[in-house]
């Protein structure tokens, strides 16, 4: 009997879970099974996330399944995971991160800079819409939710000039060919944990050592630094927030954005990689004190 891993039903969630299952098999020669689940975040698509409970709407039911013994672990997109974990749970492992960048997918191959005035761009992310409006104040932001395929279809059905998505999701779905433009991470800061997967389990799980076997050390350090920044600012879906950390030899560089008192503030910080949690916190302080 292998490990039962809970997954949301969307194509991308299943691809990500299959990826983790394959890694576990390659490392441990242990087969896994999927338990497919529908979460509140999947069922309610006509309301923005901050109105229905924030990031946790994608994982609460899955945690109940683990508590009830129906699953031993779950695979999440780290950008969907709140910074406060429920008691008894932990993100046991983070495999190697995919491309962290946001991308623009256009109806006709036109880049953001060359869009006509008043162009209609689809996204339900406050972080993305705020940064797009900094680049193109004349653009009209149109809220869209749903899985990757649904959002791409909405370019036509909602008469949009284009949409903003995560590169990681498109690459994992084999849809990289539709990307019009990759957005520079220092100018268009990604979501916290974007491109990274997290394997959640109960701290008492007998499979902890197996789940930890596919951990990628650099990914863990960078994502935990970004989450330290989010924790300091108490950030979720209610305020535009983003951060991206990357290692530079023995240092770590973190850039972060946050909306504070109606102002969208960007700051960065560089320091020893050994202080990665503290640096995330200090970056939050820099924004608070700016």
The CATH class given to the 216-290 domain equals alpha beta
50 classed as catalytic: no
CATH dotted code for 102-182? 3.40.190.10
Low-confidence ranges of the chain (pLDDT < 50): 41-55
Closest CA to 235 of 125, 89, 74, 123: 125
Can you say whether the dihedral through the CA atoms of 55, 57, 59, 60 is positive or negative?
positive
User: Can 1-95+195-215 and 216-290 be said to share one CATH topology?
Assistant: no
**E runs forming strands in the chain:** 3-8, 32-37, 73-77, 89-93, 102-106, 120-122, 140-142, 162-166, 181-182, 197-202, 241-248, 251-260, 263-272
Query: What pLDDT, on the 0 to 100 scale, is given for residue 271?
Result: 98
Which residues make Cβ contacts (< 8 Å) with residue 9, sequence separation at least 6?
A: 36, 37, 38, 42
Instruction: Among 3.40.50.1220, 1.10.1200.10, 3.20.190.10, 3.40.190.10, name the CATH number for the domain at 1-95+195-215.
Output: 3.40.190.10
Give 153-186 pLDDT, tens digit per residue.
899 899 999 999 999 999 999 999 999 999 999 9
3-state secondary structure of 164: strand
Query: What pLDDT, on the 0 to 100 scale, is given for residue 182?
Result: 98
Query: What pLDDT, on the 0 to 100 scale, is given for residue 237?
Result: 52
Give 11-44 pLDDT, tens digit per residue.
999 999 999 999 999 999 999 999 998 765 444 4
DSSP designation for 237:
S
Q: Name the residue ranges covered by the structural domains of the chain.
A: 1-95+195-215, 102-182, 216-290
Of 18, 42, 46, 80, which residue is the catalytic one?
A: 80
Query: What pLDDT, on the 0 to 100 scale, is given for residue 40?
Result: 57
Burial of 241 (0-12, 13-18, 19+ CB in 10 A): buried
Find residue 282's DSSP bridge partners: none
């Amino acid at each position: 009997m292998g490990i039962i891993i809970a997954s949301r039903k969307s194509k991308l969630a299943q691809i990500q879970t299959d990826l983790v299952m394959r890694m576990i098999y390659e490392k441990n020669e242990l087969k896994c099974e999927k338990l497919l689940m529908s979460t509140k975040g999947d069922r309610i698509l006509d309301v923005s996330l901050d109105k229905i409970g924030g990031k946790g709407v994608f994982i609460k039911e899955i945690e109940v399944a683990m508590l009830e013994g129906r699953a031993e672990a779950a695979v999440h997109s780290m950008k969907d995971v709140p910074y406060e974990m429920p008691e008894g749970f932990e993100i046991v492992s983070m495999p190697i991160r995919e491309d962290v960048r946001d991308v623009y997918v256009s109806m006709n191959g036109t880049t953001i800079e060359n869009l006509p005035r008043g162009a209609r761009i689809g996204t339900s992310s406050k972080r993305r819409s705020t940064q797009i409006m900094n680049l193109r104040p004349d653009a009209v932001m149109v809220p869209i939710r749903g899985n990757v395929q649904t959002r791409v279809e909405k370019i036509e059905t909602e008469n949009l000039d284009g949409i903003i998505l995560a590169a990681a999701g498109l690459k994992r779905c084999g849809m990289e060919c539709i990307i019009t433009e990759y957005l520079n991470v220092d100018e268009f800061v990604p979501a916290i944990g974007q491109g990274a997967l997290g394997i959640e389990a109960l701290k008492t799980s007998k499979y902890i050592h197996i789940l930890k076997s596919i951990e990628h050390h650099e990914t863990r350090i960078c994502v935990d630094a970004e989450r330290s920044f989010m924790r300091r600012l108490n950030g979720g879906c209610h305020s535009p927030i983003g951060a991206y950390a990357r290692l530079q030899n023995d240092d770590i560089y973190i850039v972060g954005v946050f909306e504070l008192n109606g102002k969208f503030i960007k700051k960065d910080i560089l320091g020893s990689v050994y202080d990665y949690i503290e640096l995330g916190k200090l970056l939050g302080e820099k924004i608070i004190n700016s």
